Structure formats: C-alpha cells, structure tokens
Amino acid sequence: MAYDHRKYVPFTPIHRPQRRWPDQVITESPRWCAVDLRDGNQALVKPMTVAQKTVLFQLLVDVGFKEIEVGFPAASQPDYDFVRKLIEENLVPDDVTIQVLTQAREELIARSFEALKGARKANVHLYNSTSRVQREKVFRLDVDGIKAIAVAGAEALVRHAQANPATEWVFQYSPESFTGTELEVAAEVTNAVIDVWQPQNGQEVVINLPATVEMSTPNVFADMVEWMGEHLHHREHLCISVHTHNDRGCGVAAAELAVMGGADRVEGTLMGNGERTGNMDIVTMAMNLYSQGVDPLLDLSDVKRIAETVESVTEISTHPRHPYVGELVFTAFSGSHQDAIRKCLSTYSEGDKWEIAYLPIDPRDLGRRYEEVVRINSQSGKGGVLYVLERDFGITLPRWLQIEFSRVVQGFAENEEREVQTDEIHGLFERHFLSVPADWEMLGYELNREGEAVDVRIRVGNASDSEVIEGRGRGGVEALVAALSQRTGVAMSVEAYDEFALNEGSDARALACVRMRVGDEVTSAASLADDTTSATLQSVLSAVGRVTAATQAQFKAG
Ligand SMILES: CC(=O)SCCNC(=O)CCNC(=O)[C@H](O)C(C)(C)COP(=O)(O)OP(=O)(O)OC[C@H]1O[C@@H](n2cnc3c(N)ncnc32)[C@H](O)[C@@H]1OP(=O)(O)O
Ligand SMILES: CC(C)C(=O)C(=O)O
C-alpha cells in the first residue's frame, strides 16, 4: 500500500488539565550531557576512530560539557579502546563525568565496568525498551517481563559498582522508546529500577526519558515528562533527564518544553548528529537560552571550530541554514530585511541591549562578521546597497541617489543572475556616477564673490585639449550651470543636490551628488574630491558630460 496516510495511528494526547509547564519560563540552563560520541557515533556511515573520538572529546571538554557519554564500550572494540585511553592517559578533567551506555545484559554490563576500571567518576547508563510495540513484537514479553530485564540490569550495576568501589558511580536508566510507552508502564518499570538503586540513600541516579522516536507534538512530550516527575519514586533525589530525537523536526522544542515540564538535564549532540534525523541539537538549544539572556554554561563562541570538527568526524556537511551555525543564518539578501538591519545597527552602541530586527543574536558572539549580514542580489533594495557602500567604502548617498543606484545594482544582478560582490557594487557606482566622462574633467577653477553674485571661471577638458568657460550666479553651482547653458545653448537646471563629508580629520573627503535636467534628459553624477567646491563643480560637469550623444553634439556645436 503506497502513500496512504490511513495506515498511520495518531498519537493520543494526554488528558492533563492541571498541566503546569505552559506557564514556566526557563531562567537557567539545564545540565547538559553530550552524546555525540555514542548516539552520534552509532548513526554514522563510518563510526569514529579512536583518534577522531579523542579530537571530539577535547572539543566537548573545551566547550564546557561536564557530562559526556563517551561510547558503548561493550559494543565495539574502538569504543572500548577509547574509554581505556581516556582513563589511562588521564584525559578526563576532574570536573567532567564520563558516561557509557549498556543494554541490560549481564555480559555487556560486565564489559562496560571493565572498560571503566580506574575511572575517578563514571555514569553507567542502562537501557531497555519499554514501548508497547517493542514489548509485543521485539521482546515478546509482557510488562513484568520487561520490568524483570530492567531490574536484573539495575541489580547488575549495583553488584559491579560494589566490586569497584574506587570509582564514584552514577547510575542512569532510560526506559528506551519512552515516547511509545504508556505512562503507567514507563513509571512502573522505572520505579522498579529506582527501588533497586535507592537514590534516597545517597546513590546518584539519573532517570533519562528518551523521545527515542519523536512521535507527537512537543507539548505531549512535555506533558509526559511532567507526569513522570509526579509519579517517580523519590523525585527529589533524582535527576530527570531528557533525550530527544528530531523525527518530526521538533527535537529542540521538545527538550525546551520538557525542561519547562521539570527536566533537570538534557542530552543531545553538537549540531544534532544522531540516529535518523538526529538528536536534539545542543548548539541550538544553548544559543536559544543565550539569546534570552540566560547563561547556557557552554562556550559556543568558536562556532567555526565546532562546525569544522563535527563535519570532519561525522563526514556530514553543515546545512547553510543550520540555526546559529550555517553560512547563511546571519545574512539578509532581501531588501526590507536589509533596510531594517541597517537602520537598527546604525543606532546600536556597544553595551546596548541587542534589539536588531532580523538578527536574534549579535553575529559577532559566534565569531561571525557584520560583513556577512547584508549580501546583495536581485532581491535587495536601496537599504542593502547603501549598507554595503557605507560599510565597505565609507560612501553615503542621498535618498534619491540610493533609489537610482539600487536600480542599477538590481539590473546588474538580474542580468548576471547571481549575487553581486561588494567590489562590483563599488565598480557600478564608479562606472555609473563617479567616473568623469572624457573631456569633462575640471582642470582648474576660480570663484569670485562680488556682493550677492559669484563669478566662476573653469578650465574643462582633458590634458591635451581644454577650454575655459565662465558664468555668474548666486552660488558656484548656479554660476557653472549658467556658464554651461550659455556655452551650449541647452537649457539645464539642478533638480537635486547633496554633499557629504566622508571620513574625518586629515582623511576627510567630500562627496557631491547632483541630479540635473539637461535639455530633455535627466542625469545624475557624483564626485569625490578633497574639498567640497571641487566635488560640487566636478559633479555638475560630470552630469552634463553624461547626457546622450544628441545633447553632446548640441554642446559641441555650441
Ligand atoms: C535507542 C538507542 O540508541 S539504544 C543504543 C543502540 N546502540 C547500538 O545498538 C549500537 C551498539 N550495538 C551493538 O554493537 C550491538 O547491538 C551489541 C554489541 C550491543 C549487541 O549485539 P548482539 O548481541 O549481536 O545483538 P543485537 O544488537 O542484535 O541484540 C539484540 C538482542 O539483544 C536484546 N536486547 C536489545 N536491547 C536490549 C536491552 N537494552 N537490554 C537487554 N536486551 C536487549 C534483544 O532482545 C535481542 O535479543 P535476542 O538475541 O534474544 O533476540
Ligand atoms: C539509549 C537511549 C537514551 C537512546 O539513545 C534513545 O532512546 O534514543
């Protein structure tokens, strides 16, 4: 039966009108446990070598993880060897607890304890599946049978721990496939384990509730976690942990709501590598906390190292839109986003609260640069183009020229069908507005004021051929326009004019921008010079020099 939704059974919502988690706010970080070296590793096409595991372990330590599941040493030799290496080479910092996973099978438990010999402190993580489907179809046992597996495993942990008293032991139990388990069954089996371990008598116990397969909306998972917190024995002596997968794309959301539902601890992996769609991504959840002003107790600032290390050991590339990490996640191409970002950033000062439209966090916190924030393609508008000119070239433009120039850039992007680089944007500005048309260079000028009037005398042309034109007006621009009109017999007027001082101090340069009507044409130009007068006069000459051949001919004839 292909593609037929009727073969699927919907999840059953939990009737729990007394639920409390929706009103909770996360104000502090949960405990984290990184399971990259176990759950992440078991999902890889090529599981990690001991050398790769060592590199990843060091990264996890450097990032600040205090609990790290380092493998399933009873399952494979590299996992076993890696645990031995950590212990024998003393690679585990004093404040870090390593954790190993084992099935509830005596020989695997024995081998796990053997791997951990000599550890200062270690968490032995026991699991067996409690779900209805696995009870019926995989183990073919009833609830008592499943409970017996769990209890036998729990007792084995106690025995082996007692035989190895030099290590400080933490016991962890996962009713695996918890999301497919009826809550009463999950509680019954887990309580049987808790009763063996007796956390009330000092044994450190973690109860880990896994969304082994994410089977519902995250609110249902939160209900389940909150319910378990109310039904587990000795809750006050337990650490309740969650371990969410991402089958429905909500692994992070489920873990967040579970913390609101009372979970103390969260298991996951850096950037979400793990079985199928992955484990919940600790980078995302931690940065979500960070973006709310909550210290995630992890230092993720060197996100480049994190991404490169994860990519190299998993051989999985990072999606460009991966939250917080992807190449494009701090980049806006679209015009209205760029405009809002530019306006917000222009009022931001170091030390201010971060309130920048479209940027949930300051990209610099993760080693990213503002240069990446605005990139230009055919979806971009004037705000973005101006942002690039200001940021990379210190050039600002009046609004009317922003509009004109952004059309030029957009046309270029549409023709090229690609992103436009910042140097190309500068090149377009240069070509369309700044460049001085041949024969229209101002070679020298004199301005004399007499009362209300200004007389201008300008030498214009090129190095080998120039002429002097003269005119009078109320200011330099008017005088030059008068001189040009008189010289050409073409009516012309200034429609818009703006000037800016670029840079400051001895570097200061002047930018003049002008839009002129020359005959029937409207044309714009800009000029950069060391002084405002030169910039202004040259911009007018350049604008007139840009008019079409017909007007030029008229000019020359005049
Ligand atoms: C949700 C999770 O991620 S759980 C972790 C899963 N990770 C892994 O499986 C990676 C490492 N695993 C392995 O290398 C292997 O599975 C091993 C070495 C652990 C075991 O290998 P094998 O003994 O060959 O058996 P296999 O994995 O096929 O085991 C299935 C058997 O174990 C039993 N079993 C499975 N899980 C458990 C458990 N948690 N507790 C007790 N028994 C279990 C099954 O009922 C089955 O029993 P059967 O042989 O009587 O039919
Ligand atoms: C062993 C458990 C915690 C697990 O990996 C899972 O259920 O996904």
- Note whether ipTM > 0.90 here: yes
Q: Residue whose CA is closest, atom 6 of ligand 2? A: 212
The response to whether residue 178 sits with its C-beta less than 6 Å from ligand 2 reads: no
Pocket test for ligand 1, best of 42, 103, 136 (most atoms within 8 A of CB): 103
Q: What's the whole-model pTM score?
A: 0.91
Q: How many CA atoms lie within 13 A of 463 on its CB side?
A: 0
Report which ligand 1 atom has the smallest distance to the Cα of 76: 14
Task: Say what the pLDDT of residue 548 is.
Answer: 60
Q: Mean of the per-residue pLDDT values for the chain?
A: 96
Between helices 282-290 and 251-260, what is the axis angle to 10°? 50
The stretch 374-390 carries a mean pLDDT of: 95
Known binding residue 39? Answer is yes
Give the pair of three-digit tokens for residue 382: 């004037």
pLDDT above 60: residue 556: no
The stretch 306-328 carries a mean pLDDT of: 98
Task: Say what the pLDDT of residue 505 is.
Answer: 64
Starting from the CA of residue 214, give the closest ligand: 2
Strand (E) or helix (H) holding 174: strand 168-176
Confidence of residue 166 (pLDDT cuts 50, 70, 90): very high
**What Å distances lie between residue 253 and 173, 219, 519, CA to CA?**
23, 9, 64
Residue with tokens 């009078």: 472
Among 181, 178, 238, residue whose Cα is nearest residue 204: 238
Task: Kindly report the number of other CB atoms within 10 A of residue 445's CB atom.
Answer: 18
The response to whether residue 178 sits with its C-beta less than 6 Å from ligand 1 reads: no
Task: Say what the pLDDT of residue 317 is.
Answer: 98
The response to whether residue 212 sits with its C-beta less than 6 Å from ligand 2 reads: yes
pLDDT digits (tens, 9 = 90+) for 7-61: 999 999 999 999 999 999 999 999 999 999 999 999 999 999 999 999 999 999 9
Apex 483 CA angle, 481 and 484, nearest 5 = 65
The response to whether residue 242 sits with its C-beta less than 6 Å from ligand 1 reads: no
Report which ligand 1 atom has the smallest distance to the Cα of 72: 11
Long-range contact pairs involving 521-530 (C-beta distance under 8 Å, separation at least 24): 521/547, 521/548, 521/551, 522/495, 523/547, 524/401, 524/404, 524/433, 524/496, 525/433, 525/434, 526/397, 526/401, 526/429, 526/433, 526/434, 527/434, 527/436, 528/434, 528/502
Known binding residue 279? Answer is yes
Report which ligand 2 atom has the smallest distance to the Cα of 213: 8
Residue type, 558: G
Task: Say what the pLDDT of residue 508 is.
Answer: 81
Looking at residue 128, the DSSP 8-state letter turns out to be E
Starting from the CA of residue 153, give the closest ligand: 1
**How many angstroms does the Cα of residue 103 sit away from the middle of ligand 1?**
6
Q: How many residues does the chain have?
A: 558
The response to whether residue 211 sits with its C-beta less than 6 Å from ligand 1 reads: no
| C-alpha to C-alpha distance for 515 and 526, rounded to whole angstroms | 9
Looking at residue 30, the DSSP 8-state letter turns out to be P
Between helices 77-88 and 106-115, what is the axis angle to 10°? 30
| C-alpha to C-alpha distance for 330 and 321, rounded to whole angstroms | 9
The response to whether residue 69 sits with its C-beta less than 6 Å from ligand 2 reads: no
| C-alpha to C-alpha distance for 514 and 169, rounded to whole angstroms | 78
The response to whether residue 176 sits with its C-beta less than 6 Å from ligand 1 reads: yes
